[in-house]
Amino acid sequence: MENRTWFILAGLTDNQRLQLPLLITFFLIYTITFVGNLGLILLILLDSRLHSPMYIFLSNLSLVDFCYSSTVTPKVIAGILTGDKIMSYNACASQMFFFANFANVENYLLVSMAYDRYAAVCKPLHYTTTMTTRVCVSLVIGCYICGFLNASIYTMDALSLSFCESNVVHHFFCDVLAVMIISCSDRHVNELILVYVASFNIFFALILILLSYMFIFTNILKMHSAAGYCKALSTCASHLTAVSIFYGTIIFMYLQPSSRHSMDTDKIASVFYTMVIPMLNPLVYSLRNKDVKNAFTKIVLRSR
């Protein structure tokens, strides 16, 4: 039994009438993702008022969103344009690794951002000494290390299986679950490893985020100033929105029993978290953030 040297990606649909609308939709989504995330990073770099811990995390979140969208979307667009659905074994392994890497980095960046919001709301007088540049850089580096280690586990877990029968991946990218399903090996242990590791990462992150917000909301309820109450809520609104969207989709995708998995449903959910979420995050943080809007206005006025 020899491993396959290439796979065929089934794509989203075989309906030819839907190919052009999908192409246009994905191209627009990726363009907005590209402009939104890289534009936000550039904005943070150019405006010295945004050189604070919150925006260090936000710029890295934008970078990660752009990177993990770029591991999937360009290949999907190229596949629709050329009709080429073949992906080599090594290319599939690389896509699987980098996607899992950036998704896990985002997972832990959201935790770091929750801690930053906790420090800003609950310990405002000690914020500058708590969230120093050294602390922020250490947290960001830790996020990337966790992402690398987890992606290595997921990828080795999936590719330790043998692929000797079907080589058709019923997905539009090399997702870990979709690749494992077509294996001719006994994958029970591998699926358990995937579920346990993914569950630990997701629920460990969620517990830390919930604890941060428990302290934040407890502190907010003690405030006697309406202005302070509104300001505290506004500093957390964007992060809460991003957390809800990200974890809601991930839990739906990866933490349900394999017997309940429907590949068609998974594909739709995958479009949301591989393409739509990276597009939404910069919009969520930009539209609800006065500092970002002021910095953008300042740069636009300066360019005239």
Q: How far apart are CA 108 and CA 146, in angstroms?
A: 8
- Tell which residue, 130, 34, 139, has the closest CA to residue 77: 34
Q: Tell me: the pLDDT tens digits for 159-175?
A: 888 887 778 888 889 98
Question: Residue 303: which pLDDT band, with cuts at 50, 70 and 90?
Answer: low
- Alpha-carbon span 111 to 98, nearest angstrom: 20
Put residue 132 in one of left, alpha, beta given phi > 0 → left and psi -120 to 50 → alpha.
Answer: beta
Stated pTM of the model: 0.88
Q: What does the domain layout of the chain look like in residue ranges?
A: 6-303
Query: Which residues touch 166 (CB under 8 Å, ≥6 apart)?
Result: 182
Query: The tokens of 270 are what?
Result: 């995958």
> What is the per-residue pLDDT across 26-72, written as a single tens digit (0 to 9) for each?
999 999 999 999 988 988 888 877 888 888 998 999 999 999 899 99
Q: Which of 20, 5, 231, 239 is nearest to 115 (CA)?
A: 239
Task: Assign a CATH topology to domain 6-303.
Answer: Rhopdopsin 7-helix transmembrane proteins (1.20.1070)
At which residue do the structure tokens 């591998």 appear? 190
Q: Where do the H-state alpha helices sit in the chain?
A: 19-46, 53-70, 73-82, 89-122, 127-130, 133-159, 176-181, 188-221, 226-254, 263-271, 277-287, 290-303
Q: Is the dihedral of CA 249, 254, 260, 264 positive or negative?
A: positive
pLDDT in tens, 230-279: 666 666 777 787 888 888 777 776 555 555 555 566 777 788 888 988 89
Bridge-based pairing state of the strands 168-169 and 86-88:
unpaired
Distances (CA, A) of 9 to 14, 89, 163, 170, 271: 11, 12, 14, 6, 15
Q: What is the pLDDT of residue 273?
A: 81
As beta bridge partners, residue 9 has 169
Query: Residues, the chain, total?
Result: 304
**Residues ≥6 apart with Cβ < 8 Å to 90:** none
pLDDT tier for residue 1 given thresholds of 50, 70 and 90: very low
